[in-house]
């Protein structure tokens, strides 16, 4: 597939076959409903097809790449190629699995969108910038992992050298696997308010909870001199619910 890469889309194609195989080996079932975001040159897509998916949706923003993907995968009736911006596309299907090498510049936005779907995917295998992956799996709470961990168990599976891509990016990457929790830690009707609450706390992360919550009557027993990042997630949710009761 010979298509001129477009810098505005943050395109870096994975060219290392061993890494492609390692990602595919994380898919432990056949006949799944799968979404691949940004299939690019189709290197992962070809291997996903070997897993005999029940349905495979490919969402690609680059029209030139879509034309090439159509030529390559038109023979597969279960493959649906969509030319769209993932951030603007209305995801309505029930997916067993989402796979993607996400562009670094929109990775957090896409991740939050996936985690807040009406029916969230059962599993996700996603590649991120290594620093972002470490932030997601940090034991200390932060603005991003405090929401994603309400819905998923997250594991770093392996790291990927920047030399595995063309063109070569400036940073290394990591592959993360997300497993949907049996029960989400926050309810659907709480999500919007919880996002506002944690955004408020983590935008003033140098301040103590005592300072941030001084106007609120909190009954929970916790050390109010600590910062939000030192809380456990269940403690953060408990405080949030008391502020919204």
The predicted-structure confidence for 71-102, as pLDDT tens digits, reads as follows 999 999 999 999 999 999 999 999 999 999 98
Radius of gyration of the chain (CA): 20
pLDDT of residue 212: 80
Q: Which residues pair with 152 in a beta bridge?
A: 180
Give the β-pairing of 79-83 and 55-60.
parallel
pTM exceeds 0.85 for this model:
yes
pLDDT above 70 for 224: no
Out of 4-18, 22-36, 106-120, 225-239, which region has the weakest mean confidence (pLDDT)? 4-18
Count of CA atoms in the C-beta half-sphere (13 A) of 242:
15
Tell me the backbone φ, ψ of residue 54, rounded to 5 degrees.
Answer: -65, -40
Q: What is the mean pLDDT of the chain?
A: 90
- Confidence band for 148, pLDDT divided at 50, 70 and 90: very high
All structural domains of the chain, each given as residue ranges with its CATH number in brackets, are 7-180 (3.40.50.150), 188-243 (1.10.8.100)
- Confidence band for 105, pLDDT divided at 50, 70 and 90: confident
Give the burial class of 102: count Cβ atoms within 10 A of its Cβ; 0-12 exposed, 13-18 middle, 19 or more buried: buried
CA 237/CA 220 separation, integer angstroms: 11
- Confidence band for 5, pLDDT divided at 50, 70 and 90: low
């Amino acid at each position: 597939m010979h298509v001129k890469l477009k810098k505005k889309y943050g395109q870096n194609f994975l060219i290392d076959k061993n890494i492609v195989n390692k990602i595919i080996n994380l898919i432990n079932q056949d006949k799944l409903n799968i979404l691949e975001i940004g299939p690019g040159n189709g290197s992962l897509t070809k291997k996903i097809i070997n897993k005999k998916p029940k349905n495979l949706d490919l969402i690609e923003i680059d029209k030139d790449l879509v034309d090439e993907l159509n030529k390559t995968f038109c023979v597969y009736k279960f493959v649906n190629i969509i030319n769209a911006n993932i951030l603007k596309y209305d995801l309505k299907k029930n997916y067993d699995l989402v796979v993607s090498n996400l562009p670094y510049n929109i990775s957090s936005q896409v991740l939050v969108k996936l985690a807040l779907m009406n029916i969230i995917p059962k599993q996700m295998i996603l590649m991120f910038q290594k620093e972002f992956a470490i932030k997601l799996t940090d034991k200390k709470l932060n603005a991003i992992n405090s929401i994603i961990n309400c819905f998923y168990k997250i594991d770093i599976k392996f790291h990927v050298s920047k030399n595995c891509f063309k063109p070569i990016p400036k940073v290394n990457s990591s592959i993360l696997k997300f497993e949907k929790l049996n029960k989400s830690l926050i309810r659907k009707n709480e999500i919007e308010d919880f996002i506002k609450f944690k955004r408020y706390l983590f935008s003033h992360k140098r301040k103590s909870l005592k300072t941030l919550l001084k106007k609120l009557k909190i009954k929970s027993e916790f050390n109010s001199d600590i910062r939000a990042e030192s809380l456990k997630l269940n403690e953060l949710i408990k405080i949030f619910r008391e502020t919204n009761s």
